Structure 1
Amino acid sequence: MEVCRAGKEYVLGKQTVVALQDVSLTVSRGEFMALAGPSGSGKSTLLNLIGCIDTPSTGTIRIKGQDVSGRTADELADLRLNTLGFVFQTFNLLPVLSAWENVEFPLQQQRGVDKNTRQERVAHYLKVVGLERFAHHRPNELSGGQRQRVAIARALATHPGIVLADEPTANLDHRTGESILQLMKDLNREEGTTFIFSTHDRRVMEMADRVIELADGKITE
């Protein structure tokens, strides 16, 4: 994955806000990388550009060697579904669905994944995150740490090349945050999945292969 001279501007009323400017970055397959910096530094903006949730005002984002600029909304949705996994600080689980159904949901959108494959993957990843006994619990019946584990299982079930984690430990207590981080590090080692974090958490930075510091929309040396 490659970011080449990416910039992002937003127009707020009569004002133009520069959220990111001239950022270049290459992420190797299997990396466990952290984007760090104070609030407003541009790390979440950069994560959103990599995740094709937003598009750069200038520069390019390449995923699997393909420039994602100029892609249609459907093409970007397809890329997010089949190449990227997402773990958010607020979990973003569907409250009316069980843990099993939340993990299965993105698989139902993937073409060529039959029912047996879906069930095998859901069972496998719920077991990987230690929640097989809670498969039929809804999010409001789970603790914060358990909900984050469901979110990780959901992110991995589609077999993404890259998992993007936006402050994944922010809403968790210290001990739970540690176990979630260790789980992601183990998955990174065992499955070769690339992880990119946006974080304030010193523990994430210490565990990362590489930390990219941002300030005022730029990478600091």
Structure 2
Amino acid sequence: MSIVRFVNVSKEYMLGEQKVRALKDINLEIEEGVFLAIAGPSGSGKSTILNLIGCIDTPSSGNIYINGQDVSGKTPDELSDLRARTIGFIFQTFNLFPVLSAEENVEYPLLQFKDISTKERRERTVKFLDIVGLAKFAHHRPNQLSGGQRQRVAIARALATHPKIILADEPTANLDHKTGEGILQLMKEINRREQTTFIFSTHDARVMAMADQLIHIEDGELIASEITK
């Protein structure tokens, strides 16, 4: 089953008075449970694709289907709800709240769900901090953690909402080689265990080597899509 589908998707931005085409007629299907990498030069459109999948942005033309839902015509509130319940985000800059502890950062996105009890929030927070190996660092703030540990908190936070899709924008870019390798192995294990779909924007050859599917983007056009595993 396709968890993401692009049908003739284009995206244009206005840069001053000039129209810039970020994506041109993209047709793409991403199967549920895949570990996928989007590769291409800087400015090729990788981040634009992630923003469209993440319902942060909307296409100029074409249709996007996320978990079977056509996002076209949805209100901002509907897009926000779809994003919150379906998608987790991992950024290269971690994007943690500096004044909150690791466990508070993980719990934070769950606070918007009225149907999740305090007990369940706590259980999920403990569970996912344990999965990423940071149970004993639960009360540490980000400035008391290494870069790799902060990225693990970000992964736990992304997983806590039980998303079907995790979008990872250059998640190893600010990590040293050994730490980045450990983070990738952790995400691959979560992908295998939970069948969570991982979609990476990356320049990292290690991510590309681990991917089940590799997509190449250049100048806003899909150049190639290959199943590698």
TM-score normalised by length of structure 1: 0.99
Letter of the 1:66 partner, please give it.
Q
Match of 1:190 among 177, 190, 193: 193
**TM alignment of 1:111-122, pairs within 5 A:** 111-122=114-125
Q: Which runs of 5+ in 2 are unaligned?
A: 225-229
1:75 maps to: 78
Q: Is 1:127 aligned to residue 106 of structure 2?
A: no
CA distance in structure 1 between the aligned counterparts of 2:10 and 2:50, rounded to whole angstroms:
12
CA distance in structure 1 between the aligned counterparts of 2:184 and 2:100, rounded to whole angstroms:
25
Match of 1:102 among 101, 105, 110: 105
| Kept in 2: contact 1:82–1:110 (CA 8 A) | no
Match of 1:156 among 156, 159, 164: 159
| Kept in 2: contact 1:165–1:197 (CA 8 A) | yes
| Kept in 2: contact 1:213–1:219 (CA 8 A) | yes
Deviation at 1:28, TM superposition (A): 0.6
CA distance in structure 2 between the aligned counterparts of 1:91 and 1:206, rounded to whole angstroms:
23
Match of 2:32 among 21, 29, 32: 29
**TM alignment of 1:1-221, pairs within 5 A:** 1-221=4-224
CA distance in structure 2 between the aligned counterparts of 1:203 and 1:110, rounded to whole angstroms:
36
CA distance in structure 1 between the aligned counterparts of 2:100 and 2:83, rounded to whole angstroms:
21
> For residues 119-161 of structure 1, what are the alpha-carbon distances to aligned partners after superposition, in whole Å with 9 as ceiling and x for unaligned?
1100000000000011011111111100000000000000000
RMSD (Å), alpha carbons: 0.6
CA distance in structure 1 between the aligned counterparts of 2:95 and 2:79, rounded to whole angstroms:
20
CA distance in structure 1 between the aligned counterparts of 2:9 and 2:153, rounded to whole angstroms:
32
> SS of the residue aligned with 1:92?
coil
CA distance in structure 1 between the aligned counterparts of 2:209 and 2:112, rounded to whole angstroms:
36
> SS of the residue aligned with 1:11?
strand
| Kept in 2: contact 1:88–1:168 (CA 8 A) | yes
CA distance in structure 1 between the aligned counterparts of 2:201 and 2:113, rounded to whole angstroms:
27
CA distance in structure 2 between the aligned counterparts of 1:48 and 1:128, rounded to whole angstroms:
27
> For residues 14-41 of structure 1, what are the alpha-carbon distances to aligned partners after superposition, in whole Å with 9 as ceiling and x for unaligned?
1001001101111111000000000011
> SS of the residue aligned with 2:52?
helix
Deviation at 1:207, TM superposition (A): 0.1
> SS of the residue aligned with 1:187?
helix
> SS of the residue aligned with 1:8?
strand
CA distance in structure 2 between the aligned counterparts of 1:214 and 1:52, rounded to whole angstroms:
20
Identity among equivalent positions (%) equals 67
> SS of the residue aligned with 1:203?
helix
> SS of the residue aligned with 1:91?
coil
CA distance in structure 1 between the aligned counterparts of 2:9 and 2:184, rounded to whole angstroms:
29
CA distance in structure 1 between the aligned counterparts of 2:80 and 2:197, rounded to whole angstroms:
20
Deviation at 1:111, TM superposition (A): 2.6
User: How many pairs were matched up?
Assistant: 221
Letter of the 1:144 partner, please give it.
G
CA distance in structure 1 between the aligned counterparts of 2:125 and 2:197, rounded to whole angstroms:
20
